[in-house]
Structure 1
Amino acid sequence: MWLDANQFNMVEKAALDSDLIHDVPRQVLLRGLPSGFRAALRTDPSPLVQLALDLTKLNEVERLAGGMVPIVQYLQNAAEQLALRSIPEAELFKRLANEISNRTRGAAVADLPAPSTLPEVTRHEVIVGRDDMVDFGFLSRALAAGGAVARILVPKFDGGSQVRLASGEPWLARGTAWIIAPRLVITNHHVINARSAGEPDASDADITRQAKQSMVEFDFDRTDAAKITVAIDSLVHASKALDYAILRLANDPGRAGIALNPEPLKMTATSYQAVNIIQHPRGEAKRIAFRNNLVTAADDQLIRYFTDTDLGSSGSPVCDDNWRVVALHRGAKYAKGVSYQGKETAYVNFGSQIQAILADVKAENAALHQEMTGV
């Protein structure tokens, strides 16, 4: 069950208070779910009973064969429709969708600060009046960086046995990975861990096997793209604290890695720093986020930013406008009551500073650090 009894009741009450079940057609709330799945749902002429039936069934399904979590899709659809109508209950649906998203697809994101404790969020800031133009070379640099970004598919093993869905298809965590050095890719530790929030971490044996049997898919730039699939040779090094995992590819995909920013990203009271993210949101075709994308804060280990991401974006490179990596994206928390660039609410995203990751690798595995940096 994704929603507990209290959350379930909150959703039902919000749907009634907002007139969601009367104003929004059921097919709109179910939009994006596979047609066969929608057809199998029970129907009832009473809108209230129909709501309860749909929520109960969606709440019971862990995920579908393609990795979609039905209750997340439903909550996101509801939030979008209520937001279009400027109805405040949209926030509840958004928050619950985000909370569940952080528990799915192996995205058990740990130890991210609560947005309500962050000073740059609680100021309810509004940022206006800046020139956001970039030089024309921004586009070519983005394309070059994008070639190094791939979708990663991680099978789940428990006690040495592969976990499968009710359909018999393998349970897969879907994330993003990218080339950091020849034949080396990096993603999040929680992606390779392939566990939902609340589950114990994978054993050393299981996580090693999960990493080795993962696949990365380059050039998944659109739904009908001809992907280049490369197997993983081994898990080379990982850190749960900084949430990264470095994997060695079985074969050279024949493309360069993304340049790294040589210094940690720093923020001052007058800083205006944008970051751009190439990612595979929801495990789907590659997308790029480079609007409404300012950094809000940075320390020695983490940076925080408003750049758009989604589940499946875990492990993405967070890049400056020169398309050098400044951080490894790791998760997001829903921020309530924020006014940011015209948005009344926002997601605060978090990434590990790439220089903090390199320092950690150097301290734990000097040979790997030299392979990655040449130093």
Structure 2
Amino acid sequence: MITAEHVSQAETDYLAQLEKAARRFDNRAAQREETLQTIESRGVLYADEPARVKKRLARLNADWSLAKAIEQIPTEPATTTGSTLPLSPEVFGADVLGLERLMGRNNLTGVAFLEGGYLAARSIGRVCVRSPEGGHYGTGFMVSPSLLMTNNHVLRSLEEASHAVVEFNFQAGVDGRPLDPVTFKIEPQNFFATDRDLDFTVVAVAERNQQGARLADFDWLPLDGAQGKAILGEFVNIIQHPNGEPKQLALRENQIVDLLDRFVHYATDTAPGSSGSPVFNDQWEVVALHHSAVPKTDADGRPLAVDGTPWRPGMGEHRLAWKANEGVRISRVLQALSRFTLTGNAARLRDELFQPPGTPPRGEGAPQTAAAARPGADGFGPAGSAPLPSATAVGLTVPLRITVGVDMPTPDRPGPDRTSGARSLPTVTSAAVLPRAERAAGSSAVADAAEQDLAAALLNLRLGETRAYYVREDDRAARDAYYADIDADSDGETLRRALTALLEETHGPRPSYKPARMLYPWVDLHPDRLLRSVYSGKTFTAEELIHADAAAEAARLRGLQEFLLREAAAGTDVIAAELDALEAALPFNCEHVVPQSWFAKREPMRGDLHHLFACEPECNSFRGNIPYTDFPGFDEAVREDCGMREKTGFEPEHSRGAVARATLYFLLRYPGAVGDGTTEFPADRLPILVQWHENEPVSEYELHRNAAIAAIQGNRNPLIDHPEWARSIDFSRVWP
């Protein structure tokens, strides 16, 4: 414990934070060591939970297939771009460089990184406290046009905050000379919210200082609630005023090594962060609030100084011997702020903090809630950990996501998708949440995001051109390792259960439904590098379908924006119906062999690549959601190029073996998910699938598909790898 001496309350509180941080760090030694070993042996993409990695890649406008392609390419940077990828300068972009940087393949970055850091630094100031019991310093940063965030142990109370100021521009200029600091008075009487356990304080700052300078000129750092800002193994940046000194930057010196429920640990061998500093990713998004070093301690648990003696507060933080840094997860700060009971002007100021950049402040008559924040959804943890503020809180994410939260119980028919107990509309990708008044301004953002998706898909296509289509020896080795613990001689039900468990356990990254990104550029290509409609056999180039789907997606989004502008008060059911209508009118060139309506368009089923195939909309529409069947003759069935159909069944013209194996995979991977509806696949048609499977052997095309999907989402199709198991597996209990 700390030896008794005369120290200020702020120093006492900081000592308490040091001790708690040390205990948390020591208690997680085993988990942290496992994480570091994974980073060292496999890389940053494998250290964190697959869902978080997927969200991080999506935020970088990348996906798992691109990340895998980078992994498989030698690390020597190209002379023309600095990238490790064999790309010409005209197709090389910042998104690729950012992904290589994340994966530790390249330390280069675009010069825009410097400008972003400069702009972020303007909103960060030195907090100076002059109280009757003594003075101290900390770092703080603006999080709205009016509010500043720092630590609780920097500003512990309204009384202490009333004696504090924040100084911006306390730093050296480009010529090395000190700039003139611009000081603003802190005004806790207008807003003050603090939490000792999470060690944060949010407080109002004067709009102008005594010299007439405007606070608005220093901008603010939005606390974005979107997921995917950082993962384990990633490096973060800290802008700070260490020990009250001029503003300094710790650039990519701290690596995230552990994630706790409320805190994040990041290790460095240089210096601890400064209390109250923002912790940034490489895109200059705030991912945590720095609040404590993790000190080295002696046998009695006392923090040590750099010379090995017990550390005392009077020595200053710079004399503390440390082994890591600890920050508070921004999602937990947002959660806590959303739960404060506030009224009047304080509620309005709190709401400004939750609004995205560019949004005008709400009027006095606007609803005073924190609905836009979606607390609980930072770059580390799952969304939805805080209750939604209203029963029908609708958030339009422009350009490519609609997220609808409904305060209601889980649907009566639970499926194997355990990712959410709430009902949500289909999602595509995300950007900043915009309020209703801003929806009309999103058309250019829609176009930009559509262009980014198109560029990413075409980049995946170009990378695939240099890859071997299928390497049989490598795939056989991967197959044997995958099923090493499966006892093929066990009884049928035991074998089925073992395969179901394996498929779920290894289904790591779970891509959302975006066929243009992964299906067309690589997964569904035939040996001639063309796509073939799964039912009609018609051929297409991958680029043809990529462009067609990009146009369809852009048209959907424009239609949805127009609808939301017309129907500002539309409820969730009405919006869902409009989305369904738009998807029906503007379909993708992709077929779910297990129709989406059978599993209510839920993920991960919707994006599971094993049952997605290229298919022109005409054949997709002709099949509809009719289950497969086998026609003994052709007289009673309607026949087209796609196949034969009547009310009770559909038989494809082509690829019967492939669709049978994909459907059997789905039944194994998601038992109980389909088959309880009158039009869903009935159990008595199982022999038809098995017969199609045996009549059409596995082709090189399917072997390629299986290997490509395994590289992206982790699991494999047992019916492709071991066709002989079709008669051994007992499928009788996969139906509800």
> What TM-score does the superposition give when structure 2 sets the normalisation length?
0.31
1:322 matched to 2:229? The reply is no
1:143 pairs with one of 101, 106, 118:
118
Match of 2:146 in 1: 183
Q: Could you say what secondary structure the match of 1:333 adopts?
A: strand
Paired residues of 2:230 and 2:287 also in contact (CA < 8 A): no
Match of 1:292 in 2: 253
Q: Could you say what secondary structure the match of 2:166 adopts?
A: strand
- Please identify the structure whose Cα radius of gyration is greater: 2
Quote the Cα distance in structure 1 between the aligned partners of 2:10 and 2:146: 30
Q: Could you say what secondary structure the match of 1:217 adopts?
A: strand
Give the Å deviation of 1:289.
0.5
1:305 matched to 2:266? The reply is yes
Instruction: Please tell me the residue identity of whatever aligns with 1:218.
Output: F
Give the Å deviation of 1:154.
1.5
Matches within 5 A, 1:23-38: none
Instruction: Give the structure with the higher percent strand.
Output: 1
Query: Which shifted more, 318-327 or 258-267?
Result: 258-267
Quote the Cα distance in structure 2 between the aligned partners of 1:371 and 1:124: 38
Quote the Cα distance in structure 2 between the aligned partners of 1:265 and 1:364: 26
Give the Å deviation of 1:347.
2.1
Give the Å deviation of 1:135.
2.6
Give the Å deviation of 1:295.
0.6
Quote the Cα distance in structure 2 between the aligned partners of 1:183 and 1:284: 24
Paired residues of 2:255 and 2:267 also in contact (CA < 8 A): yes
Instruction: Please tell me the residue identity of whatever aligns with 2:292.
Output: G
Quote the Cα distance in structure 1 between the aligned partners of 2:324 and 2:194: 25
Gap regions ≥5 residues in structure 2: 41-103, 208-213, 298-320, 356-371, 373-736
Paired residues of 1:278 and 1:288 also in contact (CA < 8 A): yes
Identity of aligned residues (%): 27
2:234 pairs with one of 273, 280, 283:
273
Match of 1:75 in 2: none
Q: Report runs of 4+ in structure 1 exceeding 4 Å deviation.
A: 60-63, 120-130, 264-268
Matches within 5 A, 1:47-126: 104=11, 107-110=14-17, 111-114=20-23, 115-118=25-28, 119-122=30-33, 125=36
Cα displacement string for residues 265-308 of structure 1 (whole angstroms, at most 9, x for unaligned residues): 6877xx43111100001110110001332111223421110255
The verdict on how the C-alpha distance between 1:347 and 1:120 changes in structure 2, with shifts beyond 3 A counting, is: farther
Give the Å deviation of 1:227.
0.3
Q: Please provide the CA RMSD for this pair.
A: 3.2
Match of 2:295 in 1: 334
The verdict on how the C-alpha distance between 1:250 and 1:266 changes in structure 2, with shifts beyond 3 A counting, is: closer
Q: Could you say what secondary structure the match of 1:189 adopts?
A: coil
Quote the Cα distance in structure 1 between the aligned partners of 2:146 and 2:182: 14
Quote the Cα distance in structure 2 between the aligned partners of 1:192 and 1:261: 24
Cα displacement string for residues 67-93 of structure 1 (whole angstroms, at most 9, x for unaligned residues): xxxxxxxxxxxxxxxxxxxxxxxxxxx
Q: Could you say what secondary structure the match of 1:143 adopts?
A: helix
Instruction: Please tell me the residue identity of whatever aligns with 1:112.
Output: A
The verdict on how the C-alpha distance between 1:373 and 1:293 changes in structure 2, with shifts beyond 3 A counting, is: same
Paired residues of 1:106 and 1:173 also in contact (CA < 8 A): no
Match of 1:208 in 2: 158
1:224 pairs with one of 175, 178, 192:
178
Quote the Cα distance in structure 1 between the aligned partners of 2:229 and 2:123: 25
Instruction: Please tell me the residue identity of whatever aligns with 2:136.
Output: A
Paired residues of 1:219 and 1:228 also in contact (CA < 8 A): yes
Cα displacement string for residues 83-109 of structure 1 (whole angstroms, at most 9, x for unaligned residues): xxxxxxxxxxxxxxxxxxx98486244
Give the Å deviation of 1:264.
5.3
Quote the Cα distance in structure 1 between the aligned partners of 2:12 and 2:116: 30
Instruction: Please tell me the residue identity of whatever aligns with 2:334.
Output: L
Quote the Cα distance in structure 2 between the aligned partners of 1:180 and 1:239: 16
Give the Å deviation of 1:250.
1.6
Quote the Cα distance in structure 1 between the aligned partners of 2:230 and 2:113: 22
Instruction: Please tell me the residue identity of whatever aligns with 1:356.
Output: R
Paired residues of 1:318 and 1:326 also in contact (CA < 8 A): yes
Match of 1:240 in 2: 196
Paired residues of 1:179 and 1:185 also in contact (CA < 8 A): yes
The verdict on how the C-alpha distance between 1:335 and 1:120 changes in structure 2, with shifts beyond 3 A counting, is: farther
Gap regions ≥5 residues in structure 1: 5-59, 64-101, 157-161, 164-170, 194-206, 337-344
Paired residues of 1:121 and 1:335 also in contact (CA < 8 A): no
Give the Å deviation of 1:262.
2.5
Instruction: Please tell me the residue identity of whatever aligns with 2:337.
Output: V
Give the Å deviation of 1:355.
1.7
Match of 1:68 in 2: none
1:259 matched to 2:222? The reply is yes
Quote the Cα distance in structure 1 between the aligned partners of 2:230 and 2:221: 23
1:370 pairs with one of 334, 342, 351:
351
Quote the Cα distance in structure 2 between the aligned partners of 1:369 and 1:266: 23
Paired residues of 1:264 and 1:354 also in contact (CA < 8 A): no
The verdict on how the C-alpha distance between 1:132 and 1:178 changes in structure 2, with shifts beyond 3 A counting, is: same
The verdict on how the C-alpha distance between 1:144 and 1:105 changes in structure 2, with shifts beyond 3 A counting, is: farther
Quote the Cα distance in structure 1 between the aligned partners of 2:224 and 2:286: 6
1:153 matched to 2:128? The reply is yes
Q: Work out which structure has the larger RCO, using CA pairs closer than 8 Å and 6 or more positions apart in sequence.
A: 1
Quote the Cα distance in structure 1 between the aligned partners of 2:251 and 2:12: 24
Match of 1:347 in 2: 323
Instruction: Please tell me the residue identity of whatever aligns with 2:352.
Output: E
